[in-house]
Amino acid sequence: MDIAHGVGLFGAAAGAGGVDAIVGGGGLVLLPTLLVAFPALPAATALGTNKLVGISGTSTAALTYTRRTPVDKRVVLPAAALAVLCAALGAVSASALPTHVFRPIVMVLLTAVALFVVFRPAFGAETGAVEASRRRRVVTTLLAGAVIGFYDGIFGPGTGTFLIVCFTLGLFTEFVASSAMAKVVNTGTNLGALVVFAAGGHVMWLLGAGMAVCNIAGARLGSHLALNRGAGFVRAVLLVVVVVMVAKMGYDQFG
């Protein structure tokens, strides 16, 4: 790896940490950068290294958010634990299910998310007038942890975004509170997948550790920006990231 690729990788890790801390989508930056720097890198190793870097940023963002945003740990932590298991199961299943099957489905879902957010300006702008019941909170978070956790293990793009939208819809919370919960659960999904990839020897530990330091710095900046600028800022970044993700997946699928 030459100096230019090194600068690109560490810069991408920092940028991915910032974006991921706000609305998710860091893998969209990291994975292509890894594959450009190492053209012969097996896909599993790229994914495993991405998870190592990603968990450093999501856990940092989770800690930053939860220090300033109330999170019901009795609800979110069990969902994160379930996400670990389901993401591991997804990662084990990844080789049996080709990614080209998922891309069109995810593109449609992300497009629907973008349209919904655009045409519902009040969505996620503030906490709903009606508080979600405890049963609704438990069911929503556990279901999100299981389904989106499995998805993150088997494919992954948009995991953080899907979690934020799911919590905003199901729990009537605004975007910043939803992002705080999403980061806790996303830490679980990254951990589950990382364990599987690490067990298979598909992680570049030394490079990943260096990139993780940059990812942590980006995550701290991104989470502070979201906390200080509020739901409107998160909404704008979410829309931009979704459009970029759909365009990137469309190019991968049809380009």
Domain range for 60: 3-254
pLDDT at 203 (0 to 100) = 96
pLDDT at 217 (0 to 100) = 98
Query: How much of the chain exceeds pLDDT 70, in percent?
Result: 97
Strand segments (E) across 25-114: none
**pLDDT over 70 at 135, yes or no:** yes
**What average pLDDT does the segment 9-27 reach?**
92
**Per-residue pLDDT reduced to its tens digit, 217-247:** 999 999 999 999 998 999 999 899 989 888 9
pLDDT: is 108 or 187 the higher one?
Answer: 187
pLDDT at 196 (0 to 100) = 96
pLDDT at 99 (0 to 100) = 67
pLDDT at 122 (0 to 100) = 82
**What average pLDDT does the segment 245-252 reach?**
86
How many domains, in total, are found in the chain? 1
What CA–CA distances, in Å, run from 193 to 57, 152, 155, 247, 254? 15, 8, 10, 25, 27
Contact 12, 29 (CB under 8 A): yes
Q: Is 39 exposed, middle or buried (0-12, 13-18, 19+ CB in 10 A)?
A: exposed
**What average pLDDT does the segment 118-141 reach?**
85
**Per-residue pLDDT reduced to its tens digit, 159-197:** 999 999 999 999 999 999 999 999 999 999 999 999 999
